[in-house]
Structure 1
């Protein structure tokens, strides 16, 4: 992913108003992100523990999505799998992220959900740059490039649903 500016990020959101996009908390350490290892930029809102955001490239542009997730934590023995990167996590490492749909459907209250890594570090898990608390990912016969393609495809499928 190419590096992003705060203005790039704020202008990319498709499922919130311009005012909401202007007020949301953008990461302050954008210069320190490992852009070459990211398929999308994802972060949690430090001031609102039930909110997260992601920005991805799509059709030559940027698409930003405001997400919400429940604060409830599962027991440590319970394991869940991210449907984007297929990484398993114990406890609350995977959350159901919901996003308002874009346009009129979103204003009517329609939303779409996806089970995703709570820390939104899917790109880093796939590349082995970050290891989940459980100690690792399953061995796969796919190459790294194929795993990255699958991850970006899964994220794109989720974003596509926001427009439907």
Structure 2
């Protein structure tokens, strides 16, 4: 379970400057978010057009936050989210870039990934997958999708955090 405050959210950001942390706008209803229904917390900053944030618990229990910037260009075809890999794609997928933490980020090194524009991954993996055959274990498939989302999201933020 993720337990966050405004202060812990800001301090978890590994690739943001002090000014960027100060400028962060928490999502509406932050104090009432049900973190049990989320595998990570992601939101777009309403005051900073293309800026977004993802706060992800890693597999070893650490909380890592990443400042993301949406690319201006959009994918030419219908892209698949790299985190939830939902094939039904009920939402828009965009390319987000993140500068690396530490000296590499200060030199301009970045990594990027395709993510659901408004971070609906947690909801997507909790939807029942289509039943491909009789006897298919939808509950086990749903749990596998949740586990894989956690693995992919935490791998991305750990890559950003490595110095």
Name the TM-score, length of structure 2 as normaliser.
0.83
Shift of 1:70: 2.4
Higher relative contact order (CA 8 A, sep 6+): 2
User: Alignment partner of 1:80: what SS?
Assistant: coil
CA distance in 2: counterparts of 1:114 and 1:52, whole angstroms: 13
1:152 is matched with which residue?
A: 150
Higher mean displacement: 50-59 or 37-46: 50-59
CA distance in 2: counterparts of 1:161 and 1:3, whole angstroms: 23
> Contact 2:129 / 2:142 at 8 angstroms: preserved in 1?
no
CA distance in 1: counterparts of 2:95 and 2:154, whole angstroms: 17
2:67 is matched with which residue?
A: 66
Count the aligned residue pairs: 154
> For structure 1, which runs of at least 5 residues remain unmatched after alignment?
129-135
CA distance in 1: counterparts of 2:52 and 2:130, whole angstroms: 26
Return the structure number with greater strand share: 1
**Consecutive aligned runs of 4 or more in structure 1 exceeding 3 Å deviation:** 71-75, 136-142
Distance 1:105 1:73, change over 3 A: closer
2:18 is matched with which residue?
A: 18
User: Alignment partner of 1:48: what SS?
Assistant: coil
User: Alignment partner of 1:47: what SS?
Assistant: coil
> For structure 2, which runs of at least 5 residues remain unmatched after alignment?
none
RMSD value, Cα: 2.3
CA distance in 1: counterparts of 2:130 and 2:83, whole angstroms: 14
